[in-house]
Amino acid sequence: MPQVSVPQKGSAVQTPYYLIDKSRLLPNLEKIDKLRKASGVKCLLALKCFATWSVFDFMANYMDGSTSSSLYEVRLGHEKFPGETHAYSVAYADHEIAQVLAFSDKIIFNSIGQLTKFSQASQGHVRGLRVNPGVSTSEFDLADPARPFSRLGEHDPAVIEAVADQISGLMFHNNCENDSFERFDEMLTLIEDRFGEVIHKMDWISLGGGIHFTGDGYPLDRLAERLKAFGLAFGVQVYLEPGEAAITGAATLEVTVLDTMFNGKNLAIVDSSIEAHMLDLLIYREPAKVAPNKGEHQWMICGKSCLAGDIFGEFRFDAPLKAGDRVSFQDAAGYTMVKKNWFNGVKMPSIAIRELDGTIRLVRDFDYEDFAAALS
């Protein structure tokens, strides 16, 4: 679709739409760049969290490339995000491996079984192995990479050391929404103590994502010192894979109230759906965010799908809501846009970008043809 500019308020863009604001994205990127320069780490965008490639050229000025979880993600990173392209998947299929290798600079295997299976095919490629250190910061069992019987990575140092000559790097991913430097330091120390011998044999180490170092008040200087010391002690290039740290607070989901009701509570139905447009919140049973969420009038914001529990949450406003009012759901980039779907045939939100000068650019609209093409 042709790109158009509209006034700063974006009133010419039909709701629902995701609005990525570069002025809110930029502070995250500047903190990432500061960490890179102070510590020597390289930072790769985790496409599993955010894959809206219309801002990749902007983000690439502050990051070193991308990392993926599938063939399509690694191809997107290769084609759209300048810099390094790392490939990881819980398991590669036989028919995928040639393309994964073609599109990546490094390939990370989830198991020794997969490393062995594709040993000949990946000969001469930079190879790594995922390691499960057995601890994480996740508060949700669903997202805990160190949960009992986890399939995510190898866990035995002796077994990993036996294949050390076949790889040049290791990937640890056990930070999940971790905004505590002390907890990060504690877990990195555990990794050093348990896997230090094999880390010494590597050229590079990825410590994954989930470290909320772009949050307000995070001791970025202490993190930089710790990462630099780790890299020097083991003689490795350190990688981080920020996802939400890169895009937290950078986008909103813009919706319009279609109808209001009262059934013991004030209900407002909007032209969107948490099931279709903010699915991650429904999965983890968390409400959406509305700012400032203050006022005398409390309203339950409901989606328009037929799912009874299609509810964004309860929020406070200065005045009663009415049809035609606009509502902005905050923090709508991470694990949101990548999970949008066509449930109930609810129109998928368009994607718009607010440039640094305040103008809004509509970069993608979705229509019936997109809905029909999603199935057969």
What is the percent of the chain where pLDDT is above 70?
Answer: 97
Which residues 6+ apart lie within 8 Å of 303 measured at CB?
A: 269, 270, 272, 273, 274, 275, 276, 277, 310, 311, 312, 346
Cα(247)–Cα(266) distance, integer angstroms = 32
Cα(356)–Cα(260) distance, integer angstroms = 36
> How do 297-302 and 311-317 pair as beta strands?
antiparallel
Task: Transcribe 282-320 into DSSP letters.
Answer: HHTT-----SS--SSEEEEEE-SSS-TT-EEEEEEESS-
pLDDT of residue 138: 86
What average pLDDT does the segment 23-48 reach?
A: 98
Residue 1 pLDDT exceeds 60: no
What average pLDDT does the segment 85-98 reach?
A: 98
Measure CA 226 to chain center.
24
Task: Transcribe 58-81 into DSSP letters.
Answer: HHTTTS-EEE-SSHHHHHHHHHHS
pLDDT tier for residue 177 given thresholds of 50, 70 and 90: confident
Measure CA 81 to chain center.
15
pLDDT of residue 3: 33
Can you tell me which residue has the tokens 């050390």? 164
User: DSSP class of residue 256?
Assistant: E
pLDDT of residue 10: 42
Q: Which amino acid does the sequence have at 127?
A: R
pLDDT of residue 2: 30
Residue 311 pLDDT exceeds 50: yes
**For the segment 198-236, what is each residue's pLDDT rounded down to a tens digit?**
999 999 999 999 999 999 999 999 999 999 999 999 999
pLDDT tier for residue 140 given thresholds of 50, 70 and 90: confident
Q: How many CA atoms lie within 13 A of 293 on its CB side?
A: 12
Q: What pairs with residue 213 in β-bridges? A: none
Cα(309)–Cα(302) distance, integer angstroms = 8
Task: Give the C-alpha distances (Å, rounded to integers) separating 270 from 13, 58, 177.
Answer: 16, 32, 29
Residue 139 pLDDT exceeds 70: yes
Cα dihedral 125, 130, 170, 213, rounded to 10, equals 120
Residue 14 pLDDT exceeds 60: yes
**For the segment 284-295, what is each residue's pLDDT rounded down to a tens digit?**
999 999 999 999
**For the segment 158-176, what is each residue's pLDDT rounded down to a tens digit?**
999 999 999 999 999 999 8
Can you tell me which residue has the tokens 């158009």? 4
**For residue 189, what are its two tokens?**
């120390």
Of 248, 353, 333, 329, nearest in space to 29 by CA:
248
pLDDT of residue 5: 32
**For the segment 345-365, what is each residue's pLDDT rounded down to a tens digit?**
999 999 999 999 999 999 999
**For residue 106, what are its two tokens?**
């490094």
**For the segment 250-307, what is each residue's pLDDT rounded down to a tens digit?**
999 999 999 999 999 999 999 999 999 999 999 999 999 999 999 999 999 999 999 9
Of 92, 221, 107, 241, nearest in space to 174 by CA:
241
pLDDT of residue 302: 98
pLDDT of residue 146: 87
Q: Which amino acid does the sequence have at 99?
A: Q
